[in-house]
Structure 1
Amino acid sequence: MALCTGFGLSYYALTDGRLFGAAEIGPWISWPDLGSSAPNPYSRGHLTREAALQLGRAEGLQFVSTTDNAGEPLNLSCSYTLVGHVPVSTFWTLVAVDPQGRNLAASDAELSLRSSEVVRDNEGVMTLHVGRFLSPGNWLELKGEGAFALRLTLYDTTAFSGFGSNNDTMPTITRGDCA
């Protein structure tokens, strides 16, 4: 019983690892320890297993969401609206990826939404539309079907550093119409 529990928890820590070192803000999850010079053992194992190049702590931070604010999984048959602010950063990008990490942007569309091209209202609030169906304003057009994740990468950010009072705000994700 002890071996099964030990191996099961180790497998979970290396494949998902949300219990270890994750920071959650609404549906957004980040692992700030991944970019440090000495990540915890679970983060190190996760990095080794994924074989993915991570941003250094001084370079940026990535947030991932697989659910909307209601806790429902993101699905390409639905459209979504993201509203709000992102933590202070020099630049950010938003991409949609499938479970294997492939970009889901439509073939003739932009691969990501970038902070330099997003229109905001007078208070600095942005409204982003994500999905397969045409939407006005800031729109990330997607293709495909099934589950997906949103990756918001902040470059040169002060998130989780303790500077500024608005660093813990993230855009809400609201499900719209579904086909």
Structure 2
Amino acid sequence: MRFVLYLLMMIAVALSVGFGLSYYALTDGRLFGAVQVGPWIAWPDVGAAAPNPYTRSLLSREASLQLGQAEGLRFTASVDADDRPLSRDCSYRIRGKTPLATGWTLVALDADGRNVAAPDAEPAMRSSGLARPNSGAIDIAVGTGLMPGNWLELTGDGPFTLVLSLYDTAVFSGFSSDESMPTISRGNCS
């Protein structure tokens, strides 16, 4: 009787671990198919001719048009440098260098994938439209309140995600340090 009880417990543990890891891989999957650099997450196999199964599950979940491997790479961030969720109740500064690319765009999206830029403002920041210091670094303010310098003006409230799309880049050849991506630091919150 004891053997049957242990066998049933082992089967229950095996099933819960197996189904739990499968659920995680298919709903989040960052451990298996994504690359994380600081708060930024990218899926390098998204534009591949034959992506891995975890990337395929991401593509099925998002059902959105993606960049091909020869076109570029998309990084997303839903937390700041201190791992706190991005919220439109706070202001943020994005500072540092971006990986080498012909161009890039930065947009803020809500949970449904809608752009949350203010209606009368630019919907995205573009690499070609920034004021930069001589070092070439970026310094972008993100938030709903008026801020000096390069400012991505948001509207509404609630969480949001930053999407940095790099165009015509070979970012993963020799790309490994957190300093290669800009940092996201939280400012004042209302």
Residue 140 in 1 paired to residue 186 in 2?
Answer: no
Residue 105 of structure 1 aligns to a residue in which SS? coil
After TM superposition, the structure 1 = structure 2 runs for residues 4-153 of structure 1, keeping only pairs within 5 Å, are 4-153=16-165
Query: Where does the alignment leave 5 or more consecutive residues of structure 1 unmatched?
Result: none
Residue 176 of structure 1 aligns to a residue in which SS? strand
* Deviation, structure 1 residue 154: 0.3
More helix by share: 2
Distance 1:109 1:119 in 2: 17
Distance 2:73 2:169 in 1: 7
Distance 2:161 2:150 in 1: 18
Q: 1:86-110 deviations in whole A, cap 9, x for unaligned?
A: 1000110000011111110011111
* Deviation, structure 1 residue 84: 0.7
* Deviation, structure 1 residue 85: 0.9
Change in CA separation of 1:167 and 1:67 when aligned onto 2, cut-off 3 Å: closer
* Deviation, structure 1 residue 151: 0.3
Residue 102 of structure 2 aligns to a residue in which SS? strand
Residue 37 of structure 2 contacts residue 178 of structure 2 at CA under 8 Å; is this kept in 1?
no
Identity of counterpart residues, as a percentage?
A: 59
Change in CA separation of 1:93 and 1:66 when aligned onto 2, cut-off 3 Å: same
What residue number does 2:5 align with?
A: none
What residue number does 2:188 align with?
A: 177
What residue number does 2:168 align with?
A: 156
Residue 160 of structure 1 contacts residue 167 of structure 1 at CA under 8 Å; is this kept in 2?
no
Tell me how many residue pairs correspond in the alignment.
178
TM-score w.r.t. the length of structure 2 is 0.88
Distance 1:99 1:156 in 2: 27
What is the root-mean-square deviation in Å for CA atoms of aligned residues? Answer: 1.8
Change in CA separation of 1:146 and 1:56 when aligned onto 2, cut-off 3 Å: same
Distance 1:15 1:165 in 2: 25
Distance 2:60 2:32 in 1: 15
Distance 1:168 1:176 in 2: 20
Change in CA separation of 1:136 and 1:18 when aligned onto 2, cut-off 3 Å: same
Q: Which has the larger radius of gyration?
A: 2
